[in-house]
Structure 1
Amino acid sequence: MSEMGSKNKGRTMIEVGADGVAVITIVNPPVNSLSLDVLQSLKESYDEALQRDDVKAIVVTGAKGKFSGGFDISAFGGIQEGKVQQPKSGYISVEVLTDTIEAARKPSVAAIDGLALGGGLEVAMVCHARISTPTAQLGLPELQLGLIPGFGGTQRLPRLVGLAKSLEMMLTSKAVKGEEALQLGLVDAVVSSQELINTARRWALDILARRKPWVASLYKTDKIESLGEARQILNFARAQTRRRAPNLKHPLVCIDIIEEGIVNGPKPALMKEVEAFGRLLKSDTSKKLYPHLLCSAWNIKGSRYY
């Protein structure tokens, strides 16, 4: 087993089994949040797995029964105040998640237990399949922070669960549990926590052998409606949003970015998403919501995520 990153910081660990499957584990207690250290370590672990001849396929999971609670919101304040350098535009969303993980020549499966929220779910969605436990919680709650999903969520969630459901999940910030996620197509199988890793290992090898589909979710089209129907759904969502939250702009930005992907394709829309995320992070709305959410995350849930 090898570790990527300092033991004092968030990191990932990689362990290669006799079956040729590399299990990459996110380690950043208490909820395996995606600090910049973790994301850099994740890329390093992937690069190692892709270079090693003894690795055939990859499983991504989180330590101690939690996949990942998402991007560490404690970093938002530092970025907003200019104390923490924001990653270069598109580095995480495009270079790490899309061009390294999703485009990898070795298949990967996300093994999801506990939380897969925000960036955590976005990491899971770039894998070529997802296995979850019944109690796992999967969602994109970024709009509560005055933001939009920034690691590809506006593009991949609609392609996995359909436009109407993805809009509902993003605009209301509500998570779904394992069985509903299976019905929606967000995960491919639901198993007990005891079976999770072994099932994911077998699934990854089945993808490699073409016994299971090798799916890049960014390019799935079977759940996306025709352009005319999609625009009707998006316009209905806009009208509802204006009625319910007339003073908030970021939900409308989220809808616009989703539409961008449907009209002009998902890859260009990823960069639009990154640009909008960076802009919203510095907005007055996000700066006002961030302290409230940070306080709420610590006091109510005893952890910090999104």
Structure 2
Amino acid sequence: MNYETTWETLLCEVNEQIATITLNRPKVLNALNARVFDELEAVFTALSNDPSVRVVLLTGSGEKAFAAGADINELAATDATTGEAKARRGQAVFRLIETCGKPVIACINGFALGGGCELAMACTLRLASETARLGQPEVKLGLVPGYGGTQRLPRLVGQSAALRLLLTGEMIGAAEALRLGLVDEVVPTERLMTRAKELALAIVAMAPLAVAGCIEAVLRGSELGIDDAMKVEASIFGRLCGTADKAEGTAAFLEKRAPKWTAR
């Protein structure tokens, strides 16, 4: 796939096995509309099936916003039936991002509100600039988050902290988001993408099947009791023991050389 094809709402480029996707609607603070969801689905489906891409960086164009939320004009036109369909659509696309098999790093520059915050939470890791602002303000519109926010937020920050943010619609800064565990690291704005690439390159150096296995084990295990989750871990461990990469990794360690991964 030509990732640099003409997207209406996105930019995408691939370098050094790292794909960078940029939400590109700066005039509306990268608000999420139906077209954005269609294009996110298309590009992440392609990336998940591309072995040459090992890590994905996701950010927003301009300095003001990662994504300021759902398109309010679209929301205003929904009723009970179309509203549920809209929520299910957003949930499905964000779940695709979460389970695409590649680490996805949200690079949060500016506002990540409502659907934008939910998009960031669907990513594997979250880096925030010092000027980032995050929140779930849906209660101010007479709504609840509809793209997974009520489920992922408590898993990240705990039930009490999540309810405080959900019930007040409060917008918090990067430092508070880091304290709560909503983001993993805060960096100066000018260092955001550089730091994200450093982290991505560190992951690229690891065994790709093992990286995918770690993500799979955590996601599947988080939905199970501890005993069943341990079985999932053992199954993935056993599966990886039969791979060429495991043989290469152990041989390289014993021979004191750098491994050469083949994703087999």
| Partner secondary structure for residue 166 of structure 1 | helix
Structure 2 matches for 1:97-246, cutoff 5 A? 97-98=94-95, 100-207=96-203, 209=206, 214=215
Q: CA deviation at 1:30?
A: 2.7
- Confirm or deny: 8 A CA contact 2:112 2:135 kept in the other structure: yes
Instruction: For residues 130-167 of structure 1, give each alpha carbon's deviation from its aligned partner in whole angstroms, at most 9, with x where no partner exists.
Output: 00011100100001111000000001111111111111
Distance 1:153 1:218 in 2: 18
| Partner secondary structure for residue 42 of structure 1 | helix
Structure 1 residue runs of 5 or longer lacking an equivalent are: 222-306
Structure 2 residue runs of 5 or longer lacking an equivalent are: 224-264
Instruction: For residues 183-242 of structure 1, give each alpha carbon's deviation from its aligned partner in whole angstroms, at most 9, with x where no partner exists.
Output: 111111001121111212232343453899859679659xxxxxxxxxxxxxxxxxxxxx
Distance 1:177 1:218 in 2: 31
Q: Does 1:57 align with 2:59?
A: no
Match of 1:27 among 13, 24, 27: 24
| Partner secondary structure for residue 147 of structure 1 | coil
Structure 2 matches for 1:239-258, cutoff 5 A? none
TM-score between both structures, scaled by the size of structure 2: 0.73
Q: CA deviation at 1:89?
A: 6.3
Identity of aligned residues (%): 35
| Code of the aligned partner of 1:174 | E
Match of 2:69 in 1: 70
Structure 1 range deviating more: 30-39 or 203-212 = 203-212
Distance 2:203 2:108 in 1: 18
Describe the shift of the 1:183–1:81 C-alpha distance in structure 2 as closer, same or farther (beyond 3 A).
closer
TM-score between both structures, scaled by the size of structure 1: 0.63
Structure 1 range deviating more: 53-62 or 124-133 = 53-62
